[in-house]
Amino acid sequence: MNIFFDIGRHSVNTSKIKVMEVARKYAVRITFDDGDTNIFSTGYDAEKVIESIGKTILQLIPCVTPVYNVYDNGTYFHEPVSYLALCSDGVIRSLATPDGFFELAEVASNFRGCYEKHRLCEFPKG
C-alpha cells in the first residue's frame, strides 16, 4: 500500500522511505529504499513533521473487547473506544471520535491512556 505525505511542495511516498531525519529546523533529510537522499524544506518544525508521518493511520481495527480512553481534567473520566489505529510507525494507537471524526486520542494533553474496563478502577472519579 502506498501512502503519500505532503512535505513542503512535494508528495512523498512514505512506503519508500528508509531513513528520515532532521536536516535543519525546517527541513528533513530522507533516504529512500533505492539509496537516493534528498533534503525537503518543510515550512514547519522538522521534528513535528517526522512525528506526524509516523502517526499516519494505515488501518482501523474495530475493538472486540470494550476499551476506554482515560482523560484527566482534575478528575478522571473515560470514553468508550470503538476503533484502534495501526499507524505507519508500527504502533497501535487509540482513537477518539469527537464530532464523529477519527483522531488519535493522544493529541489531547489530558489523555492518560487506553484501558480495558476492569482497569478503570485505577482512575477514581472526583
Tell me: the pLDDT tens digits for 50-93?
888 878 888 899 999 889 999 999 999 999 999 999 988 888 99
Distance in angstroms between the alpha carbons of the first and the last residue of the chain: 46
Percent of the chain topping pLDDT 90? 50
pLDDT > 70? residue 126: no
Chain segment 105-116, per-residue pLDDT in tens: 998 889 999 999
pTM above 0.85, yes or no: no
- CA proximity to 40, closest of 87, 18, 89, 31: 31
Closest CA to 78 of 12, 16, 122: 122
State residue 90's pLDDT score: 85
Domain boundaries, the chain: 4-54, 57-122
